[in-house]
Structure 1
Amino acid sequence: MVAPAVALAAASAASRRSWRRLFRWRAPGSRAPCRPVCTARGLPGGNEYDLLVIGGGSGGLACAKEAADFGKKVAIMDYVVPSPRGTSWGLGGTCVNVGCIPKKLMHQAALLGGALEDAHHYGWDVAPSAPHNWQQMATAVQNHIKSLNWGHRVQLQERNVKYFNIHGSFVDDHTVRGFTKAGKETLVTADHIVLATGGRPRYPEDVEGAKEYGITSDDLFWLKKSPGKTLVVGASYVSLECAGFLTGFGLDTTVMMRSIPLRGFDQQMALLVTDYMESHGTKFLKYCTMRKLEKFEDQRLQVTWHNHEVGREETGVFDTVMWAVGRVPETRHLNLEKVGVTLHPDSQKILVSASEATSVAHIYAIGDITEGRPELTPTAIMAGKLLARRLFGHSAELMDYDNVATTVFTPLEYGCVGLSEEEAERRYGQEGIEVYHAYYKPLEFTVTERDSSQCYIKMVCLRGEDQRILGLHFLGPNAGEVIQGFALGIKCGATYSQMKKTVGIHPTSAEEVTKLWITKRSGLPATVTGC
């Protein structure tokens, strides 16, 4: 055992640990040997953990578990600050609790409502419409989420990953301090620290009553009763997905858009998405900005907005107003300025290198908290795993953020991989690209005579002999399942000529991709009429 004098000399004068934390003494009568607890740098044995991950979302969990599989001593620190409406949740981050998982389940619930309308065309003697029970659906969805929370806890325990349910911030570049709900201080030291705290929905700062009376997606998925007549403010994928399934439940739903829908996505596809939604019941207030929210005695909300098209203020009454105007990174509480981690001056996201390294050598960041990265769960997971392998598994493989596929789960789903037509044009010029496209009708839409006017496929290629595929965009049923398969080929550098040699699976919507032959340049009608 190290002598106390030696230990105290080794600990720096600025150390914030008490003598009681430096050593774990043998209790009277105990047979366990005395041993130091290595919680201060400079002590024999170094830091307490090989890796500390701050943030228990998909990326952080993946990184922690991967590092533990290499036999490293790992800790993960996670704490959910309740939303302004008091909503909180368990381990797993945005995707599990208030993002991908509940969103897809509620999207599926809305699709089933549409299937009821189709069923009698196929011989099923069912009512074409039925009332939706929000409470029953919400209970089932929330129970599934809680099972995932528990599963993550179990997986960490199986790997001996220490879980701290505390809100942590830096004391120095190897030390993070947090407080339990009971107010007890906890100090954790680690050789390597990974920041994976993600983001939270943004509230507008210039709208009176925004926080007091509005909710966000953080709250929507945990509501115990139906939101009723709802105004969704914003034109992001979060806004359109939520508005889509709310309309599917039969709720009076309106989307307020300041400018364009799905900023950052291909705009032709984005407008087709909103056209479909509008033709199927979702209302849109276009070129409008919010002014204020007021609450009546009956709990309804009066909304005042400015309509820029007509140049005047207008009002409406809703049961619920949901903000979907972007997200902010969870960097403010981390005390990053204390250790010198550099943030982007505008977004306040962390600047990282290709290896996910921050401006501090042993501090890394992954996922939505990082500048210039896609805000997607699978990218955070892969980045976390690859980072752990580089740190502890003698790997040099970096995360490749190009050609990452994604899907917007609007009523008519939109899947894409690669460049938008606009981005391809910016990079290669209008004469440098060839765009193949087609409107098609899914077979399942035919018997029911469902509207398919927005079912559309677009393939953006380089002009040249082989025409390498730069981007693929698919609007139609099961878009995520369709685009996932093609994503591999495009990731591997697939060309239009190779796609034309691919035999499609008949009859599927996906086979329409392999049959594309009409170019925008030709000016020919893009409607598919048969084989």
Structure 2
Amino acid sequence: MPPITDNGNLKDVINNYIQKNKVMVFSKTTCPFCTKVKDLLKSMNVQYEVLELDKADNGSELQNTLQQLSGQRTVPNVYINSKHLGGCDDTMKAHKEGRLSEMLNSQYDYDMIVIGGGSGGLAASKEAANLGKRVAVFDYVQPSPIGTTWGLGGTCVNVGCIPKKLMHQAALLGHGLEDSKKFGWEVPEKVNHNWDSMKNAIQDHIGSLNWGYRVQLREKKVEYHNAYAKFVDNHTVKAVNRKGTEITKTAETFVLAMGERPRYPDIPGAKEYGITSDDLFSLPYCPGKTLCVGASYVSLECGGFLQGIGLDVTIMVRSILLRGFDQQMAEKIGDYMKTHGVKFVRPCVPTKIEKLEDGTPGKYRVTGKFTDTGKEYSEIYNTIIFAIGRDPCTSTIGLDKIGLKLNKSGFVPVNEQEQTNVPNVYAIGDICEDKPELTPVAIQAGRLLAKRLYSDSKDLCDYVNVATTVFTPIEYGAIGYSEEDAIAKFGEENIEVYHTNFWPLEWTVAHREENVCYAKLVCLLPEKERVVGFHVIGPNAGEMTQGYAVAMKRGATKADFDITIGIHPTCSETFTTMEVTKRGGGDIDQAGC
């Protein structure tokens, strides 16, 4: 092979060798380990291509580029079916374990291709790679209508859980500054918040996470393709990257993990002048006076932390708050947010958005309609955030070409094994029909799926009693049934609800409101008051809820809660001392610890 003298894009040069040759060995003529690998391949009658780096004019630069691509600079550097196998020791180990022959004789480029680089897809791919399988991840973020895009890691890391909770923390710190005065801290009367400082720090953290995921995939020898994949047939995808370059890859098994994207209303000006949570966390300017459209947890969380950092916030609600959650708790959250300055417009829907003035932020007139009276609503805002729901990313990747069934909303029906109606195609995470749309659920499902496929595991993902928390200004933790769902399923006569208000000790000296924090247990009477619903509103609700999720997984009863000694003085101990029931009545207000 002639030496390479073109000092252009060396990544493209190396990738060209890798993509065009089933077995590619980057070698040096003087390296005994390289000779050992080449002799092994010859003894197996394997055809391979070799690039002798010591014969190339820019061999050192090529080695540096190999390190960027695979994490390995030393030779031999072996690729099979475009997947990095490793060096001499890796190749010999694969030969001894029988994996080398399996890779060479496979009719597919990979054992598994994962479409989607979010939490679930990454978990499945890394677990499969740990089990010795050839794995690739295809991940590509379609820009939002205003052009926002992001790196590897999916919604949670980039535009969901992580930046959301960090901005929630910024708001809590602001509230804490007010509290601190009562505890002796001499805080200036006027303390300003800087949006850019917060946003940049959070984006820096997210960038480090993006890089970390890239490194993890490389270390586990998972091939990462930043390209948009579409099915050609049920074993083949064709993918296009940002440069328009096409690649075609095959796999025995596919895992769909594309997640969801925010929905826009079909009204004039929505996509031209509105944003969603995809855009908010990296917004290059302070949002100013903001309208959050929707009553989802995304809307309430975003509205909550924006108000908490000092902005004028209004939430436009079509009907109920937090559909799918316990409605008593939802209304308590709404009441708390109103008390703390968030304005609610309900029941109302937007009908159009008009730009009045350019700027960062600009000015926009929002026109809406009250659904109960039919009267018109009109107000001027700097930023309009739509949080009216999310749609699964299933419509444009060629699922129709392989006959994969979707429900009418585009979600993927799967069996208990996460298998679709196409036997070699599985789905995990938010795109699955009737499954909790939560990051830890996707991670668990992905890990367990890979173990079932490539080891002796029989473990299934348990979707029952999954704990979750809504990070509104007053946090809401929940496990299991809402009160209304428990009554609908088991009958009102079979349900006992224990409840109480509580006053966190930390709030007493600060003179925060009494009796806005609230806890309740929904119990099933015929089963010795087994707890089927856990609900709490108060500070650190997420940290509190997680531990009780273990108890509910084990079938804890109200008696189990009662016999447990609480930690004093904490909010969580409330659940060990609850006596008042809704059926029996009684005072639930608390005036001290």
Q: Which residue of 2 aligns with 1:427?
A: 489
Contact 1:505 1:511 in 2 (8 A): yes
Post-superposition CA distance 1:6-58 (Å, at most 9, x none): xxxxxxxxxxxxxx95856899x99967349759xxx9422111111000000
Q: Which residue of 1 aligns with 2:392?
A: 329
Post-superposition CA distance 1:93-150 (Å, at most 9, x none): 0000000000000000000000010001001111254111000000000000000000
Say which is worse superposed, 229-238 or 449-458, in terms of deviation.
449-458
- Mapped to 1, the partners of 2:333 and 2:367 lie a distance apart of 27
Q: Which residue of 1 aligns with 2:320?
A: 260
Contact 1:232 1:324 in 2 (8 A): yes
Please tell me the root mean square deviation across aligned C-alpha atoms, in Å. Answer: 2.0
Does structure 1 residue 462 correspond to structure 2 residue 524?
A: yes
Task: Select which of 339, 364, 381 maps to 2:443.
Answer: 381
Post-superposition CA distance 1:475-497 (Å, at most 9, x none): 00000000011110011100001
Does structure 1 residue 394 correspond to structure 2 residue 456?
A: yes
- Mapped to 2, the partners of 1:97 and 1:452 lie a distance apart of 36
Q: Which residue of 2 aligns with 1:67?
A: 128
Task: Select which of 258, 263, 270 maps to 2:330.
Answer: 270
Task: Select which of 154, 164, 178 maps to 1:93.
Answer: 154
Does structure 1 residue 372 correspond to structure 2 residue 434?
A: yes
Q: Which residue of 2 aligns with 1:472?
A: 534
- Mapped to 2, the partners of 1:429 and 1:498 lie a distance apart of 23
Contact 2:229 2:397 in 1 (8 A): yes
Contact 1:198 1:368 in 2 (8 A): yes
Greater Rg, structure 1 or structure 2? 2
Does structure 1 residue 320 correspond to structure 2 residue 383?
A: yes
Task: Select which of 203, 206, 223 maps to 2:283.
Answer: 223
Does structure 1 residue 496 correspond to structure 2 residue 558?
A: yes
- The 3 A distance-change label for structure 1 pair 309 and 127 is farther
Shift of residue 184, structure 1, vs aligned partner? 1.4
Does structure 1 residue 414 correspond to structure 2 residue 467?
A: no
- Mapped to 2, the partners of 1:465 and 1:335 lie a distance apart of 48
Q: How many residues align?
A: 509
Shift of residue 300, structure 1, vs aligned partner? 0.5
Task: Select which of 339, 343, 349 maps to 1:283.
Answer: 343
Task: Select which of 568, 571, 592 maps to 1:509.
Answer: 571
Q: Which residue of 2 aligns with 1:236?
A: 296
- Residue identity in the other structure for 1:518: V
What does 1:103-114 correspond to in 2, within 5 Å? 103-114=164-175
Q: Secondary structure at the match of 1:322?
A: strand
Q: Which residue of 2 aligns with 1:307?
A: 370
- Residue identity in the other structure for 1:386: L
Post-superposition CA distance 1:307-337 (Å, at most 9, x none): 1243211210000000000000000121001
- Mapped to 2, the partners of 1:83 and 1:26 lie a distance apart of 41
Contact 1:38 1:46 in 2 (8 A): no
Shift of residue 466, structure 1, vs aligned partner? 2.4
Does structure 1 residue 518 correspond to structure 2 residue 580?
A: yes
Question: Is there any run of 5+ residues in structure 1 with no aligned partner, and where?
Answer: 1-19
Post-superposition CA distance 1:222-265 (Å, at most 9, x none): 11210000000000000000000000011000000000000000
Q: Which residue of 2 aligns with 1:436?
A: 498
- Residue identity in the other structure for 1:410: T
Contact 2:23 2:81 in 1 (8 A): no
Contact 1:460 1:470 in 2 (8 A): yes
Post-superposition CA distance 1:160-183 (Å, at most 9, x none): 000000000000100111112222
Contact 2:503 2:592 in 1 (8 A): no
Q: Secondary structure at the match of 1:333?
A: coil
Q: Secondary structure at the match of 2:509?
A: coil
Contact 1:118 1:128 in 2 (8 A): no
Say which is worse superposed, 461-470 or 415-424, in terms of deviation.
461-470
Q: Secondary structure at the match of 2:132?
A: coil
Q: Which residue of 2 aligns with 1:16?
A: none
Identity %: 54
Say which is worse superposed, 453-462 or 401-410, in terms of deviation.
453-462
Task: Select which of 191, 196, 199 maps to 2:252.
Answer: 191
- Mapped to 2, the partners of 1:440 and 1:23 lie a distance apart of 66
- Residue identity in the other structure for 2:169: Q
Does structure 1 residue 55 correspond to structure 2 residue 143?
A: no
Does structure 1 residue 157 correspond to structure 2 residue 228?
A: no
- Mapped to 2, the partners of 1:311 and 1:236 lie a distance apart of 23
Q: Secondary structure at the match of 2:366?
A: strand
- Mapped to 2, the partners of 1:58 and 1:341 lie a distance apart of 23
Does structure 1 residue 342 correspond to structure 2 residue 405?
A: yes
Q: Secondary structure at the match of 1:305?
A: strand
Shift of residue 297, structure 1, vs aligned partner? 3.0
Question: Is there any run of 5+ residues in structure 2 with no aligned partner, and where?
Answer: 1-18, 30-34, 50-79, 83-103
Contact 1:113 1:129 in 2 (8 A): no
Shift of residue 463, structure 1, vs aligned partner? 1.1
- Residue identity in the other structure for 2:262: P
Does structure 1 residue 356 correspond to structure 2 residue 423?
A: no
- Mapped to 2, the partners of 1:325 and 1:372 lie a distance apart of 18
Q: Which residue of 2 aligns with 1:82?
A: 143
Post-superposition CA distance 1:364-416 (Å, at most 9, x none): 00000111111100000000000000000111111110000000000000001
Q: Secondary structure at the match of 2:209?
A: helix
- The 3 A distance-change label for structure 1 pair 25 and 70 is closer
- Residue identity in the other structure for 1:113: G
More helix by share: 2
Q: Secondary structure at the match of 1:334?
A: coil
Q: Which residue of 2 aligns with 1:7?
A: none
- Mapped to 1, the partners of 2:218 and 2:189 lie a distance apart of 48
Shift of residue 465, structure 1, vs aligned partner? 6.6
